[in-house]
A and B are shown apart, each in its own frame.
Chain A
Amino acid sequence: MEIKVLGTGCTKCKSLEKMVREKVAELKLDANVTKEEDIVKIMGYGILSTPGLVINDKVVMSGRLPSDKELNELLSKI
């Protein structure tokens, strides 16, 4: 599973990356978590507000932080 956190460096983007990494470790997922900071590439995903969460090249959330429950659901769906 490819997980990308989109964000240019705002505090929420950093917290999202941390949340995702912790959740991946907690659920013992076989996932590759990367952070995309290049604005041109971020725009390629069509989001209007950061942070964005991309799982297997699909935007699943943008502009806010998910709750713990939501993140569980998002990550275990795939």
Chain B
Amino acid sequence: MNFFNSSKGKIILPILLIPIWYIVYYNLQAFTDWFVFSVLGMTKGEHLAEAIWFFIFEFPKVLLLLTLIIFFVGIVRTFFTPERTRKALEGKKTFTGNVLAAMLGIVTPFCSCSAIPLFLGFVEAGVPLGVTFSFLIAAPMINEVAIVLLYGLFGWQVALIYVLTGLFIAIFAGWVIGLFKLEHWVEDWVYKTKVGQNASDIEKIKFSDRINLGYNAIKEIVGKVWLYVALGIVVGAGAHGYVPAEFMASIMGKDVWYAVPLSVLIGIPLYSNAAGIIPIVSVLIEKGASLGTALAFMMSVIGLSLPEMIILRKVLKLPLIFTFVGIVGGGILIVGFLFNWIF
């Protein structure tokens, strides 16, 4: 066992585990069929059977995907520190800066508790306000947990749509905020704060430590979200078996014009991480909610959260908070209407 704790062992272990992962993942459906219909002896098409099948299949599937992706993302993220991202964004022209900031927002490790030091550090280093916002919008909205769940429950097309529209909103909102020159709505003390220069950019990490951080990411993220995933899928499984199809069509269907703005309004104060909300959204869609409306709901829940607003209030004056919510909310509305119109 000591071998797997050595530097070499830490690199070899994932190489050994990946084939096992692959075999389990690709036999999960057959196993679920066998377990539900043969071992439990349930009948295909029965409500309870459908619900149990959904849970037994989806829960391990999503957990397997999460574990694999978060491991690799955890390693990739050790290369994208906030310090490097800031350096990349310093003095960038607005539009290019917004695009770059939104994309770096996906890969740079970010937690809303670090929003303040990050905001101060960016603004002080001369990253334009709008570019900073593009980063702050993309970072929580487009995260690996959301992407994995969307891929697992909807397929890669929806995951890709989510990432692209999320990028669009982050770029658009940041660009508009930059255009309005709202620097005077940033709290005055922000520009007076002297940011020190001894940040630990020089920190060198060994490759085996990067792998270690991949494991830590699994422990930290999967350890935190598995319960939400389970709850979300239980609710999903229940609805999957028992709620009649087309039930949501009259409430969240594409012909209900007010569904998109209403979903956004409900979504903003609702605070849930991607892990809990996406399994529920997958059922909403299955029961007749339109893609645009569901997408808008999901984005406003994940991307705009009350706790983050409260944290940002320390550095932003109230009008800027409202502008920020208004522009991001507006971007989400456009996305929602656009997708209802296309599909």
Contact = CB atoms under 8 A, between A and B. Distances in A.
Nearest to A57: B198
Contacts of B117: 39, 42-43, 47-50
A8 B120 CA distance: 14
B121 A43 contact: yes
Contact of A8 (B109, B113, B198): B113
B342 interface: no
Interface stretch (B16-24, B27-35, B80-88, B238-246): B80-88
A63 B195 contact: no
Interface in A21-41: 39-40
Contacts of B120: 39, 43
A56 B195 CA distance: 18
B interface, size bucket? 20 to 34
B118 A64 contact: no
B157 interface: no
Interface stretch (B46-54, B209-217, B274-282, B283-291): B209-217
Interface in B171-209: 189, 193-200, 203, 209
A31 to B, nearest CB: 19
Most buried by A among B109, B117, B200, B216: B117
B200 A44 contact: no
B86 A48 contact: yes
Contacts of A42: 117
Contacts of B196: 43-46
A59 B111 CA distance: 20
Interface residues of A, number: 27
A52 B83 CA distance: 13
A67 B116 contact: no
A29 B110 CA distance: 33
B2 interface: no
Contacts of B197: 46
A42 B114 CA distance: 11
A46 B216 contact: no
A44 B196 CA distance: 4
A61 interface: yes
B314 interface: yes
A11 to B, nearest CB: 8
A65 interface: yes
A18 interface: no
Interface in B202-234: 203, 209, 212-213, 216
Contact of B203 (A10, A46, A50, A61): A61
Contact of B195 (A43, A60, A61, A65): A43
A62 interface: yes
B200 A61 contact: yes
A53 to B, nearest CB: 9
Interface string B62-88: 000000000000000000011100100
Contact of A50 (B86, B113, B200, B209): B113
Given A48-B117, A48-B199, A58-B198, 11 more contacts: A9-B113, A10-B111, A39-B117, A43-B193, A47-B200, A48-B118, A60-B200, A63-B82, A64-B213, A67-B212, A67-B216
Interface of B: 81-83, 86, 109-111, 113-114, 116-118, 120-122, 124, 189, 193-200, 203, 209, 212-213, 216, 314
20 contacts: A8-B116, A39-B116, A39-B117, A43-B117, A43-B121, A46-B198, A47-B117, A47-B200, A48-B86, A48-B114, A48-B117, A49-B82, A49-B110, A59-B198, A59-B200, A61-B200, A62-B200, A63-B81, A63-B82, A63-B114
